[in-house]
């Protein structure tokens, strides 16, 4: 008989805690792009592109930062694209070659990028940012993928741990601002994070298995490749029913399913909104109509500070999913739902809530009132935390764990193609719209409404009570 209790050994708790610290350790720098750009500008990167503007106010000549902002927008577009697009090949590497190989690649990319930024000169090597930023973001997302498997150690709390790690990934961007505000230079900050790579190596070989952490875990097995036994006990509700013990479809069978397609649309539309907001925030605040660079510093600092709270916001989405899953499992015998259908049903409220939060964020961002942007920042960090945490949690529940790396990578890679629209939108805003994004915002608000289709379709799929819901 399987024990009805759930206990964790010390090594599992240590793996979870150190994984959280690793995700907080600056691997999600792209989230705080507005603040990073503000700091990089003070270091005079691409300053030669700035020109005096013919528009005068009294005896003061204003500087035109348009060309400089366009260069930074291009770097952000490239980095955000690579951050998502390269998730598919890195996810394949994680599935195929497993944990240690994937993490060593992440360490190489991360360390090379931080050292490149630390030793670049704004006068001669500004263009190296086009290489360093994509490498830094790809290394960071690969660290996140390898850490998400730690949630498998926590049974019925699995979704909570997964969303917590996603929130920590977002919050890691605030670490850079905290260092800078304490007077630590850009070079010293990146040298510090280069040294931090020693910690990544140690955790790879000492606290994580060479292979994968399987899910579901059986009663008391050793985890594959682990240095020592892992006695993990699952509650009966976590044991898969016999209906789940079926031959798995091929990866492409899941990739071409309706469920995957609608989830891709759901993620891509809201992700595009967040990228456009982050990419244009700094340049929009620096226009003459908005105020001075002092004002920019106030708002970009406020934006970066709110990002730190992502680690506190994200777990609520996973906690809601876990609680709903446990509630539906109690009713499963009466409703006739299989375990896979129960897991899928538990994601519906979270998907809908994420769409609602993103809609609120989009509406606030569309109102051109600076003080209102403080509320926008709060909604942005909450909706973003729910978006990426909910994305990872949904993929772990809606698709088999054997394909998680590839499924996660593919959905992120395809959403990256959609995110390429951001550069065209940036150019459109800075050019014909003259830095007035109102009409673009209205269009994106309407697009956000389409994301509500996904939770409704998943709910309809859950109503098919005759065995596990079909996914094709």
Kindly report, residue by residue over 369-398, the tens digit of the pLDDT: 878 888 988 998 899 889 988 898 899 888
Range from 21-30, 71-80, 421-430 that averages highest in pLDDT: 71-80
Distance CA 321, CA 166 (A): 15
| Cβ proximity of 169 and 309 under 8 Å | no
Omega before 216 cis (within 30°)? yes
CA neighbor of 113 nearest in space, from 129, 90, 91: 129
Distant-in-sequence, close-in-space partners of 37: CB < 8 Å, separation ≥ 6: 72, 76, 282
At residue 234, the pLDDT reads: 38
Distance CA 144, CA 148 (A): 6
In DSSP terms, which residues pair with 379 in a beta bridge? none
| Cβ proximity of 165 and 318 under 8 Å | no
Distance CA 88, CA 92 (A): 6
Segment among 87-91, 135-139, 270-274, 301-305 with least mean pLDDT: 301-305
Residue 324, CB half-sphere, CA atoms under 13 Å: how many? 20
3-state secondary structure 343-358: HHHCCHHHHHHHHHHH
CA neighbor of 345 nearest in space, from 456, 217, 214, 215: 456
pTM for the model = 0.76
Q: Is 328 helix (H, G, I), strand (E, B) or coil?
A: helix
Q: What is the mean predicted confidence (pLDDT) over 206-214? A: 74
Distance CA 367, CA 191 (A): 40
At residue 190, the pLDDT reads: 86
Distant-in-sequence, close-in-space partners of 100: CB < 8 Å, separation ≥ 6: 204, 205, 208, 210
Angle in degrees, CA 166, 194, 190, rounded to 5: 85
Residues of the chain above pLDDT 70, percent = 79
Q: What are phi and psi of 48, to 5 degrees?
A: -65, -15
Kindly report, residue by residue over 354-366, the tens digit of the pLDDT: 999 999 998 988 8
| Cβ proximity of 260 and 391 under 8 Å | no
Kindly report, residue by residue over 105-127, the tens digit of the pLDDT: 999 999 999 899 888 877 767 78
Distance CA 235, CA 338 (A): 17
Distance CA 398, CA 62 (A): 54
Angle in degrees, CA 242, 247, 249, rounded to 5: 130
The pLDDT confidence band at residue 217, using thresholds 50, 70 and 90, is low
Kindly report, residue by residue over 268-287, the tens digit of the pLDDT: 999 888 888 877 776 555 54
Q: Two tokens at 45?
A: 């990167």
The pLDDT confidence band at residue 298, using thresholds 50, 70 and 90, is confident
Kindly report, residue by residue over 391-448, the tens digit of the pLDDT: 988 998 888 877 888 899 899 889 888 888 887 887 887 778 777 777 888 888 888 9
Q: What is the mean predicted confidence (pLDDT) over 439-458? A: 89
Q: Is 43 helix (H, G, I), strand (E, B) or coil?
A: coil
User: Which segments of 1-125 are extended strands (E)?
Assistant: 51-57, 60-64
The pLDDT confidence band at residue 215, using thresholds 50, 70 and 90, is low
Q: Is 62 helix (H, G, I), strand (E, B) or coil?
A: strand
At residue 357, the pLDDT reads: 94
Answer whether residue 352 shows pLDDT above 60: yes
At residue 260, the pLDDT reads: 94
What distances in angstroms separate CA 383 from CA 179, 230, 359, 409, one per listed residue?
A: 26, 36, 9, 21
Which DSSP string corresponds to 418-449?
Answer: HHTHHHHHHHHHHTTTTT--HHHHHHHHHHHH
Q: Two tokens at 254?
A: 């899941």
């Amino acid at each position: 008989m399987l024990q009805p209790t759930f206990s964790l050994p010390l090594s599992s708790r240590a793996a979870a805690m150190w994984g959280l610290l690793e995700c907080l350790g600056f691997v999600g720098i792209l989230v705080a792009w507005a603040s990073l750009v503000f700091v990089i500008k003070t270091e005079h990167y691409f300053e030669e592109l700035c020109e005096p503007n013919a528009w005068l106010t009294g005896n003061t000549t204003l500087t035109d930062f348009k060309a400089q902002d366009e260069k930074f927008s291009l770097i952000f577009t490239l980095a955000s694209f690579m951050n998502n697009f390269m998730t598919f090949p890195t996810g394949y590497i994680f599935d195929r070659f497993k944990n240690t190989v994937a993490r060593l690649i992440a360490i190489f990319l991360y360390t090379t990028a931080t050292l490149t930024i630390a030793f670049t000169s704004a006068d001669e090597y500004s263009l190296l940012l086009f290489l360093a930023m994509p490498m830094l973001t790809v290394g960071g997302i690969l660290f996140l993928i390898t850490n998400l498997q730690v949630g498998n150690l926590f049974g019925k709390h699995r979704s909570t741990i997964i969303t917590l790690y996603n929130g920590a990934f977002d919050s890691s961007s605030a670490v850079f601002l905290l260092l800078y505000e304490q007077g630590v230079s850009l070079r010293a900050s990146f040298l510090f994070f280069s040294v931090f790579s020693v910690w990544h190596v140690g955790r790879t070989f000492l606290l994580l298995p060479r292979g994968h952490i399987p899910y579901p875990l059986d009663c008391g097995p050793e985890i594959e490749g682990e240095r020592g036994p892992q006695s993990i006990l699952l509650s009966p509700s976590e044991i898969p029913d016999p209906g789940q013990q079926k031959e798995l479809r091929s990866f492409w069978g899941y990739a071409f399913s309706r469920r995957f397609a609608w989830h891709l649309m759901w993620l891509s539309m809201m992700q595009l909104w967040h990228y456009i907001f982050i990419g244009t925030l700094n340049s929009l605040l620096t226009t003459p109509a908005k105020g001075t660079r002092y004002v920019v510093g106030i708002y970009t600092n406020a934006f970066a500070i709110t990002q730190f709270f992502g680690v506190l916001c994200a777990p609520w989405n996973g906690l809601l999913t876990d609680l709903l899953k446990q509630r539906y499992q109690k009713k499963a015998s009466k409703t006739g739902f299989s375990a896979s259908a129960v897991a899928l049903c538990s994601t519906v409220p979270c998907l809908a809530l994420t769409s609602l939060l993103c809609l609120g964020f989009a509406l606030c961002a569309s109102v051109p009132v600076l003080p209102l942007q403080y509320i926008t920042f709060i909604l942005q960090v909450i909706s973003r935390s729910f978006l990426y945490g909910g994305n990872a949690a949904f993929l772990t529940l809606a698709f088999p764990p054997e394909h998680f790396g590839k499924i996660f990578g593919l959905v992120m890679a395809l959403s990256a193609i959609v995110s390429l629209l951001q550069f065209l939108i940036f150019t459109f805003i800075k050019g014909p719209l003259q830095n007035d994004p109102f009409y673009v915002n209205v269009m994106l608000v309407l697009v956000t409404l389409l994301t509500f289709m996904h939770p409704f379709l998943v709910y309809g799929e859950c109503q098919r009570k005759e065995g596990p819901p079909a996914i094709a």
